[in-house]
Amino acid sequence: MNEVIQQAKDIITGYDGPKIRIMEVCGTHTHEIFRLGIRSLLPENIDLISGPGCPVCVTPIGYIDEAVFLALEKNCLITTFGDLIKVPGTEMSLAGARAKGGNIRPVYSPDDAVEIAKENPDTQVVFLAVGFETTTPAACLAVKKAKELNLNNFSILTANKSMPNAYQKLKGSADAFIYPGHVNAITGNKVCKELKDQGVSGVVAGFTATELMTALAVTIEMLKKGEPFFVNCYPRVVRDEGSPVAIKLMDEVMELCDTEWRGLGIIEKSGMELRKEYSDFNARIKYSIPEIKGKPNPACRCGEVLQGHCKPSDCPMFGKACTPTHAVGACMVSDEGACSAYYQYGRSF
């Protein structure tokens, strides 16, 4: 353990002030916090809430249904980040569609999906574009490349999300936010600074043990002072201006739209959709996908869990109808989903 971690750990474990609630927005932060066992270090008076920053957890059930439709009804080759394959849809997950003969392929990068389309001109390839500002530029680059190559067998099914308006929805959920380092690497810190002016505090953090511990220590120290704050705790990657090239690229290829967040409902201007100029690459238009309304289980309380309004164990399905091997809600799907983590680790970790 290096000196910085030790110093940060002393601050974290030594906190004896009033109860504070800190929300890590990013799913990868949630994952690393569990992997490092950071929760087990926290005193009783610090609540660390896992927010809605996992693209898997917030992708609505209807989106999975659309992808299953393209795989089974339109015989498309579905290329996707591995994260999405096990997420339950209304009838089945993509893993289920694959068992029924659907062609589903995990890829590391949207660019690889374009290459697959190039090499298989007789196959219609659809890439499932999920993710936040970190991931969206990769999808935009892929679409532009497909356009340059004149590929008519490549399209994307968008469910890209944009954070700024989501923060507005989350405002009251915590005393301070740990902002997602790699989103800010793209967007810069403008939105976080504006939030500070509205009285919403937070720090942007990296992902290593040192970075997460430092960010938590800074958050605790700043909360003690009682003034709204924003601190960039990840300056080696996050610059105030973000990535102007990426911002311009996203604006060129996509535009903001209203979109549904699983559990949170529709948030205005919090989604990204392809602009008209790129509609040839929009799978919804290309395949005239009928409007699919996913049917989430009405008993599922994932939305409240994601906002920190209730604990996983408060949900009537938790551990009964909904378990990691038979997930009903999105928070049970991935290992780091709040419910899955709670189910596996209980309170002790």
Partner 1 sequence: MCVGLPARVVSVNEGTAIIDANGAKRDVRADLLEDLEPGDYVMVHAGVAIAKIDSDDEAEGSEIMSLIS
Partner 2 sequence: MEQYITLAHGSGSIQTNELINQIFKSNFDNPFLTADDAAVLTADAGKIAMSTDGFIVSPYEFPGGNIGKLAICGTVNDIACMGAKPKYLTCSYIIEEGFPVEELKKIAASMGETARKAGVQIVAGDTKVAGKGQVDKIFITTTGVGNIIEGVNTSGAFAKPGDKIIVSGDIGRHGCTILLARNEFNIDADITSDCAPLWSNIEAVLNETKNIHVIRDATRGGVGTVLYEIAHQSDVGISLESEKIPVNPGVRGVCGMLGLEPLYLACEGRLVFFVPAEDADKVLNALRSCENSENAAIIGEVIEENKGKVILNTAVGAKTLLSRPSGELLPRIC
Determine which helix (DSSP H) or strand (DSSP E) holds 2, and give its type and residue range. Answer: none
- Does residue 256 interact with partner 1 by CB under 8 A? no
Contact 215, 205 (CB under 8 A): yes
Q: Rounded to the nearest whole angstrom, what is the least distance from the CB of residue 158 to partner 1 in the complex? A: 15
20-26 and 46-53 beta bridge pairing? parallel
- Does residue 233 interact with partner 1 by CB under 8 A? yes
The option from partner 1, partner 2, none interacting with 284 (CB < 5 to 8 A, set by class) reads none
**Which of 259, 263, 289, 260 is CA-nearest to residue 272?**
259
- Does residue 92 interact with partner 1 by CB under 8 A? no
- Does residue 29 interact with partner 1 by CB under 8 A? yes
* Residues that bind partner 2 in the complex, under the rule CB under 8 A: 1, 5, 9, 27-28, 31, 34-38, 40-41, 54-56, 81-83, 85-86, 95, 105-108, 112, 131, 135, 209, 213, 324-325, 334-336, 341, 344-345, 349
Q: Rounded to the nearest whole angstrom, what is the least distance from the CB of residue 309 to partner 2 in the complex? A: 22
Cβ distance to partner 1 smaller for residue 96 or 206? 206
- Does residue 286 interact with partner 1 by CB under 8 A? no
Residue among 36, 42, 95, 138 that touches partner 1 (CB under 8 A) = 138
* CA–CA dist 331, 50 (Å, integer): 10
What would the two tokens of residue 72 be?
């089974």
- For 32-63, the DSSP string reads HHHHHTGGGG--TTEEEEEEEE-HHHHS-HHH
Contact 340, 346 (CB under 8 A): no
- Does residue 211 interact with partner 1 by CB under 8 A? yes
Q: Rounded to the nearest whole angstrom, what is the least distance from the CB of residue 254 to partner 1 in the complex? A: 15
What single-letter amino acid sits at 248? Answer: K
